[in-house]
Every structure is written in structure tokens, then in C-alpha cells.
């Protein structure tokens, strides 16, 4: 049987009631003890590295996750992170870009209901995540509901639906049908043929700015003054910025000349960024802004953190 490491980080899946609502309280060992049939899928070991609501997870925690994979990669055939849903897409995207040439499954999962609630999705998600980690998959994925999703293409779309994560601009890698994984591809994010390696440091002075009607471009000057190294502009449509009465181009030029790397992303969920279509995108690109392409905000933000830390 394959040897799988279950890595606990907290989240709803591990939460218990408190005076202030649900809070993480179950470690990875407790979680797997509550899911029947896991011993038939793989030889499991557990490691608890944090105990957080995922709203509190950030780049320093992704560095810890990456270090955990690096330190245990040779010892196990696959890995499962149990994680809160709120930032799981960010965590999966970060680890997808921090591991290089990954030949083993790295699976993120969580739940919309706590393990102790009636009708919980936690047991099924853990079961199928272990099944995914014991498969021939290579690379980073989110396994949630009835889908296995490339770690760079997942987005949380629902706050309650058990299929809360969708695969953006690509089919899921696998679907669960009749309690079996039906694979469309066994290649997840971070897969490659070279020597396995892990980048364990990120540039944390990176931010996302959502452009809204009337928002002044002065906000860019704030980030320059505060010493930020990279910005993602969550722009309209195909990725352009305003250039009429509320003209963002002069402030964008100042930002780029200050040495800040800027990516233009889109507020749309599907179809990506195309800076070559309209003057507002073409002019931004001429100044030095980069296109996020088909990356969603979770993926391009973490990509920027990885690039700037190299």
C-alpha cells in the first residue's frame, strides 16, 4: 500500500463548537479516525503543522507547508493537506508554484460543514482525497466534492454548496462517479520531469488592487510609498485600466518606473486577460504591465510572490 502523509492545518473540517462559533479543534489524527475505510486505501501517518481558520493563513504559512513537503518528500508516496476553504485556492496555487518537478500527489481538501455536523461533507472529502493521493496523480490538486482540480485553476465559488470549488478555464482532472475516480488527466500543477525541488521563500510585499468605477489611481502611489514589490490589478473585462477622465496610465507608469512588477488580471471568472484587444490594455502593456493570461487572481498573486523571491 502507498504511504500517505496527512498534514493538518485547521479549518472548518477540523472545527468544533465554542462560545464564539466554530473554531479549529481536531488534529489530523482525530480527523482520519472518524472516516471509515481509510486503512483500506493507504498506509496513513499524520502531522499537525498549524491549527488555523484559513482566513488567517498567509504567505508565511505557505512557506511552512512547502518546507513540510520538502522535508518529507522522500518518505511518502503522497500528501493530503486538510485545510479551511476560504483560502484553500490561494494555498494550492502557492504550493503549485513553490514545488518544481513534482512526481507525487499533493492534495488539498476541506469541508463546508464540520466533521461533527449532521450530513457533513468532511468524511467524503477526506476519503476521496486519500484515494487521490494514493493514485497515479503527479502534482498539486484540490479534491473537493465530486471534483479533482488542478491547483492553479481552482476558485472557491460557493459558501455552502458541497461542490464549492470550480475548475476555471479547464476541465477538472477527475470526477467522482459511483465512488470511483474517473480521470481526464493525472497531471496536476507543479509537475515536471526534472529533479524535484522546493522554493521555500516568498516575497510578501505583494498586493491585489481591485479597480472599481471612480477609484482614484492615487492608490498606486500608496503602495509605492509603502515599499511594495509587486501588484496585481484586478481590472475590467479583458484586463485594461481606465484611461479617460480617471486616467490610471500616468500613475501606472510611475509605479513601473519605481521598479514594481505589475500584472493585469481580470474581474471576470472565465476566459482570461487579453491586453492586445483594446487601447486601455495595449497602453498598459506598452508601459510594462504584464498580462495574467488565463491565471485567476489566486494563481497570479502567488506567482508574483514566487517570482519576486527568486
Enumerate the active-site residues.
Answer: 12
DSSP conformation letters of 214-257: T--THHHHHHHHTT--EEEEEEBTTTB---SSS--HHHHHHHHH
Distance CA 177, CA 169 (A): 22
Q: Are strands 147-150 and 154-156 parallel, antiparallel or unpaired?
A: unpaired
Distance CA 69, CA 71 (A): 6
* Closest listed residue to residue 132, CA positions, set 105, 154, 113, 159: 105
Q: Which residues are within 8 A (CB) of 79 and not within 5 positions of it... i.e. 6 or more apart?
A: 4, 5, 7, 69, 72, 104, 105, 106, 107, 133
Q: Are strands 105-109 and 139-144 parallel, antiparallel or unpaired?
A: parallel
Q: Name the β-bridge partners of 265.
A: 234
Contact 95, 151 (CB under 8 A): yes
Contact 130, 42 (CB under 8 A): yes
Helix (H) or strand (E) holding 63: helix 59-72
HSE, side-chain direction, 13 A CA sphere, residue 297: 19
Contact 6, 46 (CB under 8 A): yes
Q: Name the β-bridge partners of 236.
A: 240
Residue 276: all three cell numbers together: 492586445
Distance CA 116, CA 113 (A): 8
Amino acid at each position: 500500500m502507498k504511504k500517505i502523509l496527512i498534514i493538518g492545518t485547521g479549518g472548518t473540517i477540523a472545527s468544533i463548537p465554542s462560545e464564539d462559533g466554530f473554531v479549529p479543534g481536531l488534529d489530523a489524527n482525530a480527523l482520519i479516525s472518524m472516516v471509515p475505510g481509510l486503512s483500506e486505501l493507504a498506509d496513513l501517518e499524520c502531522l499537525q503543522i498549524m491549527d488555523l481558520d484559513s482566513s488567517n493563513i498567509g504567505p508565511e504559512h505557505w512557506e511552512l507547508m512547502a518546507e513540510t513537503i520538502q522535508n518529507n518528500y522522500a518518505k511518502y508516496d503522497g500528501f493530503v493537506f486538510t485545510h479551511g476553504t476560504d483560502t484553500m485556492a490561494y494555498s494550492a496555487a502557492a504550493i503549485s508554484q513553490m514545488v518544481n518537478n513534482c512526481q507525487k500527489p499533493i492534495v488539498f481538501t476541506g469541508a463546508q460543514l464540520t466533521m461533527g455536523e449532521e450530513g457533513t461533507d468532511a468524511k467524503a472529502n477526506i476519503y476521496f482525497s486519500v484515494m487521490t493521493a494514493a493514485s497515479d496523480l503527479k502534482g498539486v490538486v484540490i479534491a473537493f466534492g465530486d471534483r479533482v482540480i488542478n491547483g492553479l485553476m481552482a476558485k472557491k465559488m460557493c459558501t455552502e454548496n458541497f461542490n464549492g470549488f470550480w475548475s476555471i478555464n479547464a476541465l477538472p482532472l477527475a470526477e467522482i462517479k459511483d465512488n470511483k475516480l474517473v480521470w481526464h488527466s493525472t497531471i496536476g500543477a507543479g509537475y515536471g520531469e526534472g529533479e524535484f525541488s522546493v522554493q521555500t521563500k516568498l516575497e510578501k510585499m505583494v498586493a491585489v488592487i481591485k479597480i472599481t468605477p471612480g477609484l482614484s489611481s492615487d492608490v498606486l502611489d500608496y503602495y509605492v510609498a509603502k515599499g511594495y514589490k509587486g501588484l496585481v490589478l484586478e481590472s475590467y473585462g479583458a484586463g485594461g485600466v481606465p484611461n479617460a477622465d480617471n486616467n490610471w496610465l500616468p500613475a501606472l507608469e510611475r509605479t513601473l518606473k519605481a521598479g514594481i512588477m505589475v500584472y493585469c488580471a481580470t474581474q471576470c471568472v472565465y476566459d482570461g486577460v487579453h491586453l492586445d484587444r483594446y487601447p486601455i490594455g495595449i497602453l498598459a502593456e506598452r508601459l510594462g504591465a504584464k498580462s495574467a493570461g488565463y491565471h485567476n487572481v489566486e494563481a497570479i498573486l502567488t506567482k508574483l510572490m514566487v517570482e519576486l523571491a527568486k
